[in-house]
Structure 1
């Protein structure tokens, strides 16, 4: 007679924790929590455990609400041997209305979104780059025949057209324009190299000649400075001897009570000045200067007549 083996079935576990155990810790007040620390959705009541900071379901909402027993497997405490949290079966006082909690949660969410949009972005320092010189400040490097020859040889080693291995569909060898241009440049530089070398040698000789003449003229410059140095020192002493604010004059003062030789030669007979425009007379030079007389085209004019002429034509006595 054949025997049959019946597989054991797991006992159906209750959906809610049904126990009368209550933690001795003080109860959690829902009104003292933030809106984002508790979820009062009907049938999905959860709260952040104050000990392990893990979202924990709330059981017995219609009777004595307590926290469901849970382990300390949180994001901050990822231990290999989790243990029962001390806030298991801890009472919670649901003294917050669902409508008020939803309004506060919506307001907090809106404020967080506004604050995150106002948050300044991270300022990345710009790399410090040197300023690009102008086209007139660029100094082109002179071409050397040897440098161009090395570039030409390197091109020949890498270019298939220069080696004769590049062919078209008809089997004809393809020319290389870059190789031709480098070859022409090499030949031109080698042809101009003697002239370039002569120019470089000329500049070297001129530089040496200038340095030699400058060194030979050094004693003459020193002797000339030694001859001028006493006069300069004397002038410095005289300048320091002048009081502050007084101007040093080297020439004689202009006499106002008598005529200088040039004015005496122009003085008409009778000892009086006569205006060359209106015929007015002045007895003395000092009186004429006080009355604003001027000389225009080497002729004396009274102050009234002198104002009729441009300022650049008037010369004072």
Structure 2
């Protein structure tokens, strides 16, 4: 039976090591890190966030010539697998002073707080608006009905006054049209001719086209009577008086 050893767990990271080995990777410059990823509050136990495993790692050799990250694993101690980070023993270049780091951290904190959304408080109502809203909330359906009955007489009088027409005025969409033909004999003779040809199934020569409503299909032979009955043209289409009334006045034109 083959025995397999369990995977060792990550060890705790020491703040100081005696190894002289230095990683061949380029040095980590503090000016290229975020101020919040640097901890120089205690210079002898300084730490930064590793650029590879993104975890906090102590810096060793603070009193020596070379400052570097201590050897560390990529995961949390005692939980993750013991996988060595490639940035172990990597040099750290202090190209900024502690006062400069403190100022950069303060500026970053101020900028972050300025981007935080603030709570917008509702504006207080004026006394008059407050009284109106309170009175509206206290009203009941019975009180609303009583208020309506109190002004119903005035409303009816106003509606009746709107329907009255002033003396001498007559609503019209256009100029006055003749209600009767100018030559009665000629008109009767022409109508008889149109009726005779209509019964025979063929239109009279040079006879006017029979008017037909584009909506309801109503027909009219006499243009004069059609115009008097309110026939109009809307967008080059003919409509009877009832159907033409559905369109606004500016769209209706005379036949």
TM-score by length of 1: 0.33
The structure with the greater share of residues assigned to helix is: 1
TM-score by length of 2: 0.41
Q: Which has the higher contact order (CA 8 A, sep 6+)?
A: 2
